[in-house]
Structure 1
Amino acid sequence: MRVIAHRGASVAERENTLEAFRAAVRLNADGVELDVRRTANGVLAVHHDAHLPDGRAIVELQDDQLPGWVPTLAEVMDVCQVPEANREFLVNIEIKSNLGEPDYDEEYQVSTAVAGLILGWGFGEGDRRAIVSSFDMEAINRIRAVDAGIATAYLTFEVLAPDLLVSRVVSAGHTAIHPYVASTSQDLVDAAHEAGLEINVWTVNDPDQITQLAAMGVDAVITDVPDIARTTLASSPS
């Protein structure tokens, strides 16, 4: 089971910063998860909320007006190129596209830009170094419209009918489901795997939950504490 550092190693360092992503590499995570939003001049900025702590909306700022601790996606991708042989370090890019937020992207420009950046890095079909996720199905549909070889995942908070969810994701051609930990069941894992989908669960910090999910056969946990997750898995029965 892979360990994906949620917004980087976000307990060890400030979330969604280059320091957090470097820490994830250092703590032997298998990858990182991050959030992407657009600036006024179309740069992809890595930040969870639509607004900075001082209240300014990211979409209303030029990239050179962002605080120094807010990196661009290109900067993060550069940090996450892990040179060790035989180590595939995954970058899970979550596209923020929420109705009611100032940067709601009804034309899905961010999806197009993210796909272009991934292709520019040479992450082609079957490459396990990048996956794009969103709660907005159309955002990841647009990724596939640019290049169907890019891995895509549907984020979900509540799973009421595993078979229907799996069917919807498969019919759209996506690669994985990213369910909330409390909504993850053995039925969902089994249905997804039978359909050829991965299940990568968020946000999992409790060692007992990590152990339980490993026993269920999930493909990855997305966690704020990759060091704890790695230690837990190493000490769990295989």
Structure 2
Amino acid sequence: MTHPWFRGVSTPRVLAHRGLVPSDAATGGIAENSFAAIAAAHSVGAHYVESDCHLTADGVVVLFHDEDLSRVTGDPRRIAEVTVGELESLMADRGGLITLEQALDAFPTVRFNLDVKAEEAAVPVGATVAPFAERVLVTSFSDDRRRRALAAASAAGGGIVPATSAGTATITRLLAALSLRSDRLVARALRGIDALQIPERQGRIRLVSPRLIAAAHRHGVEVHVWTVNDPQDMVRLVEQGVDGIVTDRADVALETLA
């Protein structure tokens, strides 16, 4: 059965990567993953927002990509070393901090694609999203981390668990199964997976191929490619059969793929 996260939105799906920060907003100091960036993605009609989860020193899940604050705010401390109040002050003129709870509450029509970046964030993320599981997809490069988040969501009793996409180990097993041309091993690798969210290439290795797309679709799994900002690449990938585009330019993608 298709997870509610996918229902009611046609493909190709456009996933706003860390929200949307148009060039004029970036010039004005607005940061990715900020309240303003999520609001901008919502305002252009993005159904899906891809974001990242870290845990503050006082145990609040916030939407933030990096482990530390240096790139976004110039502060060298790690997210885990600052309180949510301190982070709110640092982000005040950068579009505003947004916590996971605030995002789910303030944007009730947005479906979130959440990458659990920190080990300590896995269980709090799962517990936070449990009441909103029908519009959340949980992912992580670490399969163990995403499974712990899913288990925490299940334990919190939300009724259903969030959708999920494969971590690195699962994708590695899938690629090995494809090279062996073993549909049995492909099925095993994709068990419990709703989506493959991958770059088109990893170094010299091409990940997105007709064989991978066909295998995923055969087992009811979507393929979403990140991070695609060129309109020609968006069209080319969709023509190959991918189901979703993760992009920094959700405005451009929505217009291009309409």
Query: Equivalent pairs: percent with the same residue?
Result: 35
1:19 aligns with 2:39: no
Select 2:69's aligned residue among 52, 58, 73. 52
Residues 185-200 of structure 1 mapped to structure 2, 5 A cutoff:
185-200=209-224
Does residue 78 (structure 1) correspond to residue 105 (structure 2)? The answer is: yes
Partners in 2 of 1:169 and 1:132 — Cα distance?
17
Match 1:141 to one of 139, 147, 150:
147
Give the structure with higher Rg (CA).
Answer: 2
AA partner of residue 175 (structure 1): D
SS at match of 1:230: helix
Offset of residue 75 of structure 1: 1.6
Question: Is this contact kept in 2: 1:204–1:222, CA < 8 A?
Answer: yes
> Alpha-carbon deviations, 1:33-57, whole Å to 9, x = none?
0011011111101111111121011
SS at match of 1:65: helix
Unaligned ranges ≥5, structure 1:
83-88, 98-104
TM-score, L = length of structure 1: 0.81
Look up the match of 1:130. 136
Cα gap change, 1:181/1:10 in structure 2, threshold over 3 Å: closer, same or farther? farther
Per the TM alignment, residue 197 of structure 1 is displaced from its structure 2 partner at its CA by: 1.0
More moved, 203-212 vs 69-78:
69-78
Q: 1:111 aligns with which of 113, 118, 122?
A: 122
Q: Residue 156 of structure 1 contacts residue 179 of structure 1 at CA under 8 Å; is this kept in 2?
A: no
What's the CA shift string for 1:188-226, capped at 9, x where partnerless? 111111111111111011111110111122121110001
Supply the AA of the counterpart residue of 1:203: T
Which consecutive unaligned segments of at least 5 residues does structure 2 have?
1-11, 26-30, 155-159, 180-184, 202-206
- Compared with structure 1, are the counterparts of its residues 168 and 144 closer, same or farther at alpha carbon in structure 2 (3 Å cutoff)? farther
Task: Please point out which of 186, 198, 213 is paired with 2:237.
Answer: 213
Normalising by structure 2, report the TM-score.
0.75
**More displaced, 147-156 or 52-61?**
147-156
- For 1:61, the equivalent position in structure 2 comes to 82
Aligned length: 212
Query: Is contact 2:116–2:122 with CA below 8 Å preserved after alignment?
Result: yes
CA contact (8 A) 1:143 1:150 kept: no
Q: Residue 116 of structure 2 aligns with which residue?
A: 95
**Is 2:30 aligned against 1:3?**
no
Shift >3 Å, 4+ stretches: 10-13, 155-162, 164-169
Structure number with the higher helix fraction is 2
Q: What is the aligned-residue RMSD (CA, Å)?
A: 2.2
Q: SS where residue 108 of structure 2 aligns? A: coil
What SS is found at the alignment partner of 1:94? Answer: strand
Corresponding residue SS for 2:14? strand
Deviations 1:154-189 (A, max 9, x none): 255986546379546423x22211111333222211
Instruction: Say whether 1:154 aligns with 2:166.
Output: yes
Distance 2:229 2:17 in 1: 10
Structure 1 position 24, deviation (Å): 0.5
Task: Write the distance in 2 (CA, Å) between the matches of 1:178 and 1:168.
Answer: 18
How big is the shift at 1:10?
Answer: 3.2
Residue identity matched to 1:46 = L
Instruction: Tell me if structure 1 keeps the 8 A contact 2:143–2:168.
Output: no
Superposed CA deviations along residues 42-73 of structure 1, whole A, max 9, x for unmatched, are 11011111111210111011111112333211
Q: Is the 8 A contact 2:53 2:61 kept in 1?
A: yes
User: For residue 233 of structure 2, what is the amino acid of its counterpart?
Assistant: Q
2:199 counterpart of 1:180: yes
Q: Secondary structure at the match of 1:199?
A: strand
Aligned partners of 1:142, 1:216: CA distance in 2, in Å?
Answer: 33
Report deviation, 1:149.
2.6
Task: Give the aligned partner of residue 4 of structure 2.
Answer: none
Kindly tell me: are residues 49 and 204 of structure 1, through their superposed partners in 2, closer, same or farther at Cα, counting changes over 3 Å?
A: same
Worse overlay, 222-231 or 162-171: 162-171
